[in-house]
């Protein structure tokens, strides 16, 4: 019979964080899943910047589907106002208060946004706000795809305990909090036939979800400044507890972009490669392109003696299609997150300028409990952010 995981860290939900070990599980998150989360795998292997910050506490539910549809059109809302978004019948249970969701088919404009924060849930009706308090909820058509990106909550809540942080007046702390837990009742915990194989299985499920949540946020998140706009009497959104959210890597790039039509034009691609390798900030002759499967298909359809395409394997998992043009080498890696959420996209990066800012190292926590709850809570906890230090040496490619 399998052995239950070792207790590395114990953080009671009803007390301040205490402990003696700071074991970073960030590399363990991607073990055997490198091809599914190539960006997280990459930054976890780079040197990370560790910083100290205040403590964040919250918990979210089990693994769930990431997409559903809007049930009934939603009218455009006023700036800072909430909106009710109905999802397909039976799918409300897959959302958690604090989820960051997006409806890319919505009509986003200068004052409305389609990346939303779930404030409350009533069966299949989600009460949502635009993540950025300077925007309103965009008009959303009936049947549009709702995609759950990751969870992010007001700091200091959902465990029922307020933070000891003194709320700053200037918000400059851009990060995202990831917690992925599963619950085991105390009765189950005494059942050795259950806790051996089943608890280990649940741990692996939580580990994979934690990694995939990171990957979604690292690519697609949009920066949110802490705000007291989301008010309430308790729990999520209580007055004075700000929401933090970092920019994903796509939102950090503005210098170099290439928009293409039904088919990628090879001359436009060559011009874009030359633009990215501007001598003023070339960063060398090599780049890494995290690409959707659709973009890889476009690249492989190009037929020209100026371009050489060479597939090869890597030591860290994903298959690479390497192209060479005018002495410039680009390595294309399929990123499943982009294939699913941003078909046709590709993000050009230079690994030397990617950094993961670690505010709380990834931890596996076991047997979290408080005196009145009859269950144990196990799971992973991270607080970090991704940064692209010289975005001029990168760029992104996207379809019209």
How many beta carbons lie within 10 A of that of residue 11, not counting itself? 20
Q: What is the pLDDT of residue 163?
A: 42
Domain's final residue, options 96, 118, 151:
151
- DSSP of 286-301: EEEEEE-HHHHHHHHH
Distance between CA atoms of residues 38 and 336, nearest Å: 9
Domain's final residue, options 151, 175, 197:
151
Q: What is the pLDDT of residue 8?
A: 41
Structure tokens at 116: 């939303």
pTM over 0.75: no
Radius of gyration of the chain (CA): 22
Domain's final residue, options 151, 186, 211:
151
Q: What residues contact residue 143 under an 8 Å CB cut-off, 6+ apart?
A: 69, 70
Sign of CA pseudo-dihedral 245, 42, 364, 95: positive
Distance between CA atoms of residues 288 and 282, nearest Å: 13
- DSSP-assigned letter for residue 41: H
Q: Closest Cα partner for 44 from 211, 183, 194?
A: 211
Distance between CA atoms of residues 357 and 379, nearest Å: 21
Same domain, 145 and 282: no
Do residues 278 and 348 make contact, with C-beta atoms less than 8 angstroms apart? no
Same domain, 395 and 281: yes
| Model pLDDT for residues 149-164, shown as the tens digit of each residue | 988 755 544 444 444 4
Q: What is the pLDDT of residue 65?
A: 80
Q: What is the pLDDT of residue 366?
A: 81
Number of independent structural domains in the chain:
2
Same domain, 271 and 395: yes
372 within some domain: no
Residue stretches of the chain with pLDDT short of 70:
1-23, 47-63, 105-108, 153-173, 189, 192-196, 225-243, 303-319, 370-373
What pairing do the DSSP bridges indicate for beta strands 115-122 and 125-130?
Answer: antiparallel
Q: What is the pLDDT of residue 377?
A: 81
33 within some domain: no
Do residues 378 and 367 make contact, with C-beta atoms less than 8 angstroms apart? yes
297 within some domain: yes
Same domain, 261 and 147: no
| Model pLDDT for residues 99-118, shown as the tens digit of each residue | 899 988 666 677 788 899 88
Do residues 276 and 256 make contact, with C-beta atoms less than 8 angstroms apart? yes
CATH number at residue 106: 2.40.30
Same domain, 260 and 395: yes
Q: What is the pLDDT of residue 232?
A: 43
300 within some domain: yes
Q: What is the pLDDT of residue 153?
A: 59
Containing structural domain, residue 111: 67-151
Q: What is the pLDDT of residue 28?
A: 82
Same domain, 147 and 269: no
Q: How crowded is the C-beta side of 114, counted as CA atoms within 13 Å?
A: 18
164 within some domain: no
Same domain, 147 and 264: no
């Amino acid at each position: 019979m399998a052995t239950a995981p070792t207790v590395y860290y114990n953080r009671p939900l009803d007390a301040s964080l205490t402990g003696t070990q700071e074991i970073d599980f960030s590399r363990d998150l991607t073990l055997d899943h490198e091809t599914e989360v190539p960006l997280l795998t990459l930054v976890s292997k780079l040197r990370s910047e560790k910083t100290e910050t205040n403590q964040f506490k919250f918990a979210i539910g089990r693994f769930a589907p990431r997409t559903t549809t809007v049930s009934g059109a939603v009218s455009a809302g006023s700036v800072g106002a909430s909106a009710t978004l109905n999802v397909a019948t039976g799918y409300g249970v897959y959302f958690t208060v604090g989820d960051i969701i997006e409806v890319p088919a919505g009509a986003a404009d200068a004052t409305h946004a389609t990346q939303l924060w779930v404030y409350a849930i009533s069966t299949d009706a989600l009460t949502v706000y635009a993540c950025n308090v300077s925007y309103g909820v965009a008009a959303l058509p009936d049947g549009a795809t709702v995609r759950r990106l990751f969870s992010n909550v007001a700091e200091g809540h959902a465990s029922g305990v307020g933070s000891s942080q003194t709320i700053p007046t200037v918000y400059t702390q851009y990060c995202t909090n990831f917690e992925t837990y599963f619950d085991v009742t105390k009765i189950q915990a005494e059942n050795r036939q259950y806790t051996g194989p089943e608890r280990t299985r649940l741990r692996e499920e939580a580990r994979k979800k934690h990694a995939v949540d990171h990957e979604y946020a690292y690519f697609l998140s949009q920066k949110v400044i802490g705000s007291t706009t989301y008010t309430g009497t308790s729990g999520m959104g209580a007055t004075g507890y700000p929401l933090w959210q970092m920019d994903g890597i796509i939102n950090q790039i503005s210098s170099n972009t290439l928009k293409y039509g039904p088919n990628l034009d090879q001359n436009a691609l060559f011009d874009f490669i030359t633009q990215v390798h501007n001598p003023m900030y070339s960063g060398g002759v090599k780049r890494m392109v995290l690409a959707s499967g659709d973009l890889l298909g476009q690249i492989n359809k190009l037929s020209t003696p100026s371009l050489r395409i060479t597939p090869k394997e890597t030591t860290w998992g994903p298959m690479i299609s390497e192209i060479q043009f005018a002495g410039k080498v680009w390595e294309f890696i399929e990123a499943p997150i982009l294939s699913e959420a941003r078909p046709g996209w590709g993000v050009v990066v230079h690994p030397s300028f990617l950094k993961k800012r670690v505010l709380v190292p990834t931890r596996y926590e076991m047997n979290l409990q408080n005196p009145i709850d009859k269950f144990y809570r196990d799971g992973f906890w991270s607080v970090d952010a991704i940064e692209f230090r010289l975005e001029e040496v990168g760029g992104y490619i996207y379809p019209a």
